[in-house]
Structure 1
Amino acid sequence: MIDNLEQTFRWFGPNDAVTLNAIAQTGATGIVTALHDIPCGEVWPLEAIKERKALIENAGLKWSVVESVNIHEDIKTAGPLREEKIQHYIATLKHLAASGIRTVCYNFMPVLDWTRTHLDYGLSNGASALRYDAPALAAFDLFILARPGAFQDFSEAAQLAAKIYLEGLSADEKDQLVSTILAGLPGTDEVFTIDQFRAHLERYQSIGAAALKANLQYFLRAIIPVAEALGINMCIHPDDPPFPILGLPRVVCTEQDLLEVLNMCPSPSNGITLCTGSLGANPANDLPGIVERLGSHIHFLHLRNVCREPDGSFYEAEHLAGSTDMYLVMKAIILEQQRRKDQGREDIAIPMRPDHGHLLWTDRNFNTYPGYSLIGRMKGLAELRGLEMGIKRTLIA
C-alpha cells in the first residue's frame, strides 16, 4: 500500500471557536494555519512562528501547511512598495523554513479573496452552505457599487435578473449582501467600505489579465529560487470564483493558467494547490485530467464540491456530491501517489484538507468563520478518508 494522504484541518488561531483539541478528535493530524494577526506585507517574526508552532504541537498536532502568506497589493499592481514587500515575503519564508515549515499556500487574486454572496444558504435538510449567486453579484456590481462600465459585462437577461433580485431585497438584506461580498482576507474581520473598494478598483483600471500575469511572474522569479534553496514548496491557489468579477482580472482559473504559472519559473518549489471547489465552479475544467497531467506539481489538496447552476451560480455541496465526480478526482490523486512512489519521491502523503463544510446541527452554537464549521468539515473529512481507503483497497492491493 502507498501512504495515506496527510489529513489536515484549517485553524484560524487561538481565537478560533474550533479549538485544537476539537480538531484532534476529528482524526486530522495536521494543521493548516497562518499568523492572521500580522498585517499583509509585513514580516512574520521568527519567535511568533515558533510560538504558534509550539501551541499546535502541544495539542499533539503538526503545523503542516501555511495558508496563506498573503501577497501585498503593491506586488500585484507593481506599486511603489513592490520590492520592499517582496523582501518582506522572502524574510517570512526564511523564518518559516527555520521553523521546519515547508509548504506555503498563496493566491494572486486582486483585492478580494474567495467571494460569495450568501454565507447561510439554506439546504433541504436544514443545514446551510456558502453560495455564489450570479444575479446577486450582478445586482451589487450594477446598482450598489455602480461600477463604471459594469453594464458592458452583463447580458440584457443578466441585467434584468439583477434588477429583479435587487428589488426583492430589504434594506438589511442589501447591507448584508455588501458586507458579504466586500469581506477581506480569511481569518480577519475586515470588511471594505464601498469607497475603499472603489479606490482599490481604481488601481486596477490599467491592469488587465496580461499585466497581472506579468506581475505574478515577477513575484515568482524573485521568490521561487529562494524557496527552492530553503526547501519550501510554494503552491498557488486557483481563483475563486474562477472567472473575472467586479471588473477585476482573474488569472488562475483554468488548467492552461496553472500550466502558465508553472512555466513562469520552472522549479520543484513552484507548485499548485489543487482546489476542486474553485476549479470545479468552471464546467470547462476537467479535474481528474488536471491531476493526471499536472499532478507532479501538486503540493496541497483542497477537496470540496460545488453544485453548479446554469446561470453561473453555485453553492457548496456535500463533499462527495455536487458537480465534480470526487471518486474520479480521488482515483487520479491516488494514481499520482503511486507514480511518486515509483519515482522514489518522498512527498507521497500529500496534505489534504476538507474545505468549506456545511453548517450542521450544533455548529450553529459557535461563531466560526464562514465555511469552517467543525462538524460539517469533520463529516467531509470522514467521507474523503473512506473514499480514499476504498479506492486504495480495490485499486492497489
Structure 2
Amino acid sequence: MRELGVDRTYVRIMPDTPHDTVEGLRTIIARYVEGGVVVDNIRNMTATSMLDDIMLATPLRERKIEAFKAWLRKVHAVGLTYTIALASPGFVLSSGFAQLRGGVQAREVDLSKPLRRGLPQNPGVVVSDERPVGERPYTHDEVFGNFVTFLREIEPVVEETGVRVGFHPDDPPIPEAGRAARIFSTEDDIRTAFHAATSDKIGLTICCGTWLEGIGDPVDAIYEYVPTGRVWEVHFRNVTATLPRFSETFPDEGYYDMFRIMEALVATNYSGSINFDHELPIVGGSRAYAAYAQGYMKALLAQAQRD
C-alpha cells in the first residue's frame, strides 16, 4: 500500500472471530499503523451487512439491532469514526460470471437467470419468488417503516459514539428480491431514506458501480449528496451496461467515463475515502489488481486536480 501511495484503507472482518472484539480490532489497526497506513473503517460482514432480520422485522430484529449498536461501540472504542452498512433484503445478488478481456472472470447480473446471494466466487442460496427472502411478501411501505424504526433505534448510539454510518445502495438496484421490497434502488427511494435520518452522522455510501447498474448518473449523486457532508465513502467501480444485464469490469472498459466522477469529487471538495470496490481476478492476484486500479484512480485524480 505504501508503494502505491495509499494512505488509507478499509478492512473486512467476519463475525464471531478473534477479530470481532475490541482487542482484535486494535490488533488490526496497530498492524496497519506500523506499516504507515491509516485504517479508515472496518466492515463487519454480518453486524452491518446482513440486516434482513431488521429490515423484515423478524423475531430476531431486536437482537440484530443490539448487535449493530454493539458494533458501533466497538468501533468507537478503538478510535474509528465511520462504518458502512447495507440494508438490502437478500444482500448483494449475482447470477454468475462474465468473461472480460484476457479471459478475466467478473461478476455478472442477468435478471433472466437465477440470482444468488453474495458474489459469484462465493455464492449463496438462490433468491426468487419460489425461494423468498422472508416467510411472506414484504411491501415497500413495510420495509421502509422497518428501516425508519431501525434508524430511530441506532441514532442515539450514533450521537453518543460519534460513529458515522454510510448506507450502501441495493446491488443490484432492483425493486424487490425474493418477494421482499428493497428501498435503496431508485433515486427517489434513496433520497427518501437519506432524509429519513435525523442525525447528520447517518449518510450515504456512493457506490458508483451500483448507480451505473441502474440507479442513474453517479455524478448527479455526488453533486446532490457530497455537499451535505454526509458522504464518507465512494466506491469507484465501472460496469458494462445497465440492467437487465451487466457485468463488473475494468475502470477503463465500462460504459461510463470514470474521469467525470473524479472531476465531480474534486469540484465538490470531497474529503472521504475512495476505493476501487470489487477486485477482478487478474494474473498476479489481488495485489496486481490493486496496483492497476489504484494507479488508474490516482492518474484520474491528478488530472482532475490539474484541470
State TM-score, norm by structure 2: 0.87
1:334 to 254, 266, 279: 266
Shift in Å, 1:24: 4.0
Shift in Å, 1:193: 7.7
Shift in Å, 1:71: 4.3
- The match for 1:150 is none
**Is the CA contact 1:97–1:231 (under 8 Å) kept in the aligned structure 2?**
yes
Shift in Å, 1:381: 1.5
CA distance in 1, matches of 2:219, 2:127: 39
Distance 1:24 1:117, change over 3 A: farther
- The match for 1:385 is 298
- The match for 2:234 is 301
The secondary structure found in structure 2 opposite 1:87 is helix
| Cα displacement string for residues 86-132 of structure 1 (whole angstroms, at most 9, x for unaligned residues) | 22221221121121111110111113x2222224x222333332211
CA distance in 2, matches of 1:185, 1:306: 16
- The match for 2:22 is 46
The secondary structure found in structure 1 opposite 2:203 is strand
- The match for 2:107 is 130
- The match for 2:42 is 66
The secondary structure found in structure 2 opposite 1:263 is helix
1:230 to 147, 155, 161: 161
Distance 1:201 1:126, change over 3 A: closer
Structure 2 matches for 1:276-295, cutoff 5 A? 276-282=208-214, 285-295=216-226
The secondary structure found in structure 1 opposite 2:240 is strand
- The match for 1:349 is 271
CA distance in 2, matches of 1:351, 1:273: 10
- The match for 2:65 is 86
CA distance in 2, matches of 1:71, 1:356: 18
**Is the CA contact 1:241–1:281 (under 8 Å) kept in the aligned structure 2?**
yes
Q: Does 1:253 align with 2:185?
A: yes
2:56 to 53, 61, 77: 77
Structure 2 matches for 1:1-397, cutoff 5 A? 23-38=1-16, 44-68=20-44, 69-111=48-90, 113-119=91-97, 121-135=98-112, 137=113, 140=114, 181-183=116-118, 191-192=124-125, 198=131, 201-203=133-135, 205-243=136-174, 244-282=176-214, 285-295=216-226, 296=228, 297-308=230-241, 312-337=244-269, 348-363=270-285, 373-394=286-307
CA distance in 2, matches of 1:327, 1:193: 36
| Cα displacement string for residues 139-176 of structure 1 (whole angstroms, at most 9, x for unaligned residues) | x37xxxxxxxxxxxxxxxxxxxxxxxxxxxxxxxxxxx
Q: Which amino acid aligns with 2:104?
A: A
CA distance in 1, matches of 2:109, 2:120: 17
- The match for 1:144 is none
Distance 1:194 1:287, change over 3 A: closer
CA distance in 2, matches of 1:109, 1:359: 26
Which is richer in helix? 1
Distance 1:101 1:261, change over 3 A: same
Larger radius of gyration: 1
Q: Which amino acid aligns with 1:389?
A: A
5+ unaligned residues in a row in structure 1: which ranges? 1-22, 142-180, 338-347, 364-372
C-alpha RMSD over aligned residues: 2.7
Number of residue pairs the alignment of both structures matches: 299
**Is the CA contact 2:232–2:271 (under 8 Å) kept in the aligned structure 1?**
no
Which is richer in strand? 2
Q: Which has the higher contact order (CA 8 A, sep 6+)?
A: 1
Shift in Å, 1:237: 0.4
CA distance in 2, matches of 1:202, 1:358: 32
